[in-house]
Amino acid sequence: MFRVASPMRLFLSLPLPVDCQQILDVLEEPIRGVRWVPSEQRHLTLRFIGDWEEPGLAGLQDALAQVRIEPFLLPLTAVGNFPPRGPSKVLWVGVGAGHSRLFQLRQRVDDTLLRLGWQGDLSTFEPHITLARVADAPPAAVSQWVRRHREYAGPSFLVKSFDLRSSELRPSGAVHTLVRVFPLEA
């Protein structure tokens, strides 16, 4: 039987070391309407690419493999929710003001994608790690969680690579699959 290739839903992320993934478990609390992201799926989304045709995947990977920047440290610090006003949809932990290399990496990735003809959304970059998805949670409970943990200070982690991942949406939540790891240094 002939199979027609369908586009892959792709994104680029900064992986968290396993110890950082697990340290964030201390922020989980039972709140009705809040679904916590499993530890192993936690990451910082560098760029959501969206649908990409499979025949062009090798060219995308070759281009991304040319992105270089010095490794850098990012702290796990403070929590918040998106959107900040109105019903929350996401609970997150931040990376402080980030690091200038984080924003350089994002720009180099964007430049690479644009050269390949990508026409995605270039909206503002607000680096964070999604901890939970919120659906019909009591607003007061979400606000209390944010207040309780707003001073959170976790460890810093060394960013020495970025990942290309595919995302498959399922009723139980998105499933992320590693496609390739790109080291920041040659």
What are the pLDDT digits (tens) for 106-151?
999 999 999 999 998 888 899 999 999 999 899 999 999 999 999 9
Number of Cβ within 10 Å of residue 82's Cβ equals 14
Is residue 95 helix, strand or coil?
Answer: strand
From 133, 115, 119, select the one nearest 51 (Cα to Cα): 119
Sorting pLDDT into bands at 50, 70 and 90, what band is 87?
confident
Q: Which structure tokens are listed for 35?
A: 């679904």
pLDDT of residue 158: 96
- With 0.85 as the threshold, say if the pTM is over it: yes
Percent of the chain with pLDDT over 70: 97
Percent of the chain with pLDDT over 90: 79
Residues 6+ apart with CB under 8 A from 66: 112
Cβ–Cβ < 8 Å for 57, 8: yes
Cβ–Cβ < 8 Å for 92, 129: yes
Ordered domains of the chain (ranges, CATH): 8-183 (3.90.1140.10)
Cβ–Cβ < 8 Å for 94, 127: yes
pLDDT of residue 5: 58
Spatial distance between the Cα atoms of 37 and 158, rounded to a whole number of angstroms: 22
pLDDT of residue 186: 63
Spatial distance between the Cα atoms of 10 and 179, rounded to a whole number of angstroms: 9
From 83, 94, 66, select the one nearest 153 (Cα to Cα): 94
